[in-house]
Amino acid sequence: MTRPLVRHFRQIVLWPVQLMPLPPTESSRSHWELLDRMGPRSPWQELQDEYVDEDPEAFQERHYKEFVTFLPYAQRFLYGSTAGQESASRRARSSLRVYRRGDIHAVAIQLRPGDATWRLSVAHVDLCFFADADVASVAFEMHADDLPLDVAQEILFRFGRAYPAFWESDGDGGNCPHRVEWLGADGEVLAVSDYAARAKYLAWVVRHRTPHIAQHWEFLLAPFRPEFPGETAPLRYRQLEYYRMPFLAYLAVDDPHALTRADFIRLGLVTRSGGAHDLPYAEATLARFEVDYCDDRFWGRHGSNASADSRIICSGTTLAFVGSHGDKFYAGRETGLLGQFRHQYFLLFLIAHFHKAALLSMSDELAVAMNRLDIDDTTSVKAFKRTIRQMMEVFLRFTHRYYFSEVSNQPLASSIFERLRRHLGIDGLYDEVRNEVVDMNAYLDSDSARRQANTVLRLTVVTVGGLVGTVATGLLGMNLLDESARPFAWRIGLFALTLGVVLVLTGLTIAYSKRLADALDILSDQSTGWKEKWREFRASTASAPRRRAAAGAEADPRTIAANGRSTRRTTFGV
């Protein structure tokens, strides 16, 4: 059986990473400002879109079609606004900043040892930043013509790997290409993959407790450096999700119906190539594949439209388009589905994965804050409170600036975005992070309220004690001692003595404010007689030291930890 030939193949790999905070000594407030300061030395240069220059001649119908795909609030996020309140800040720039490097012109991929090397052209390599979010996304787009279908499937399956998960018996990285090369304008090799360097990856994990990024991907993100203990570069990042990068795929073939169900499943669920009718998983597992993953509004039609059928497969980490190469609607580079794939649907994919990456980043920051908390260290406690307050602000900014459940009213775009969100589990992740932030913030509020109530209690006791002396000595303006005729030095000494006595009494009142508060509570109880009040007062006074010692022992972190260890040992023993 002759297998289909992919007349035009295109893949856009999207790699979300978490940006590490800039050093305190760094004057720049954002990571892209450091790239700007590097000037020509930086491989990344900011991409000025067609909306900044405001030149009607440079603004094409494709740009207009892309713009009107999105709802107004998504337009303001993606493109900025020159009207209304948004125009008051940053010259109406959008919240999305894109930087592009132009030195990588092609990629050479050898899938297995001894296989042919496939050369694909690189359309662009972009780095997308988001205002007020410590997240960036690499967008790597490559394309080629006339690829065998099994080669296209293997490229999709193997290419976007940040590092190998295991190694084959021949030493190659498991499920990774045998060799990947970034090529410059003249064909020179800029960087080469090192998936087979098993000892290097193992040693890195042992030393740093973090995976080592493959050499060619590390080169691509420079001057950003992977985060690990001891790294001092100001621009650093670390992996956020699974090591396989999400991607969009576009395949144009002569006849889409020549692809079998097994082919579509391999494209949608990203498995290695195989026989035309060999399913990668059990039939029972794949029974709902078309319902869960396929948008078939343009598939299985009749009449003149049947030859132009196209299918869109969305599994969250993958968005694949399959259609007819001869169909203008599908293969049009400007306003056809190919042009929309590279722009509108890429932005849908970018927004959905940014939502997930930002939420994962915030969850990670909350976990780091908890790990750094030491309740016995006042400085650590203050830093924890400050971090939680900042995370609450970051979460609110993300919610009101970026978090959209719907970005388009166009049926196809809306359906794809809804599928992306569902398969990525964004709503559940958002609720989880929101509950974490709200719970921590509520704890801080309750702790502050407890401290304020305790302070008010002590001030109340001091006020009651001072009220007695004030009324006793100030009744009718009476002076108990007439010292006006005494020498000035005598009066100063008497004032100092009185001040000292008052300070001592006030200090004692504060020190014993808890007991005094209990005494006031007992005296104010109208349901008991004076004898019972006196008995309760003596009992509370006598047992206070023992109660305080017992409470202190229970609150001691070492006691809590010991109790926890004892409980765990008992549980595991059972």
pLDDT tens, per residue, the chain with 574 residues: 678 999 999 999 999 999 998 888 877 788 999 999 999 999 999 987 655 555 666 677 788 888 899 999 898 888 886 654 444 444 446 788 999 999 999 999 999 999 999 999 999 999 999 988 899 999 999 999 999 999 999 999 999 999 999 999 999 999 999 999 999 999 999 999 999 999 999 999 999 989 999 999 999 999 999 998 888 899 999 998 889 999 999 999 999 999 999 999 999 999 999 999 999 999 999 999 999 999 999 898 776 666 678 999 999 999 999 999 988 889 888 878 999 999 999 999 999 999 999 999 999 988 888 888 887 787 888 888 888 888 888 898 899 889 989 999 999 999 999 999 999 999 999 999 999 888 887 877 777 777 777 677 667 766 766 666 665 555 445 566 666 677 888 778 877 887 777 778 777 777 776 676 667 666 666 677 777 777 776 776 665 455 444 444 444 444 444 444 433 333 333 2
In sequence order, what DSSP letters do the residues of 472-514 get, joined into one string? HHHGGG--S---TTS-HHHHHHHHHHHHHHHHHHHHHHHHTHH
Angle at 547 between CA 543 and CA 549, to 5 degrees: 120
Q: Residue 569: its pLDDT value, please?
A: 34
281's tokens? 């998983």
- Pairing verdict, β 117-130 and 135-148: antiparallel
Closest of 149, 174, 152 to residue 164, by C-alpha? 174
Q: Residue 560: its pLDDT value, please?
A: 41
Q: Which residue has the tokens 């047992």?
A: 543
Half-sphere exposure of 494 (CA within 13 A, CB side): 10
Residue 75 to residue 82: CA distance in whole angstroms: 12
Residue 220 to residue 543: CA distance in whole angstroms: 69
Closest of 143, 141, 370, 99 to residue 235, by C-alpha? 99
**Do 90 and 52 meet the contact criterion of CB atoms below 8 Å apart?**
no
Return the exposure string of 35-44: e unless at least 16 CB atoms fall within 10 Å of the residue's CB, then b.
beeeeeebbb
**Do 128 and 137 meet the contact criterion of CB atoms below 8 Å apart?**
yes
Strand, coil or helix: 116: coil
Residue 231 to residue 571: CA distance in whole angstroms: 41
Has this prediction a pTM greater than 0.85? no
* DSSP code of residue 183: E
Strand, coil or helix: 249: strand
Q: Residue 169: its pLDDT value, please?
A: 92
List of E strands, 220-268: 225-226, 236-239, 247-253
Q: Residue 564: its pLDDT value, please?
A: 45
Which whole-number Å values give the CA distances from 198 to 165, 244, 311, 323, in the listed order?
10, 18, 40, 40
Which whole-number Å values give the CA distances from 257 to 46, 252, 260, in the listed order?
42, 12, 7
- The sign of the CA dihedral 314, 315, 319, 323 is negative
Residue 217 to residue 206: CA distance in whole angstroms: 21
What is the SS3 string spanning 405-464? Answer: CCCCCCHHHHHHHHHHHHHHCHHHHHHHHHHHHHHHHHHHHHHHHHHHHHHHHHHHHHHH
Residue 499 to residue 503: CA distance in whole angstroms: 6
Q: Residue 419: its pLDDT value, please?
A: 95
Q: Residue 86: its pLDDT value, please?
A: 47
Half-sphere exposure of 419 (CA within 13 A, CB side): 24
Half-sphere exposure of 474 (CA within 13 A, CB side): 6
Burial of 83 (0-12, 13-18, 19+ CB in 10 A): exposed
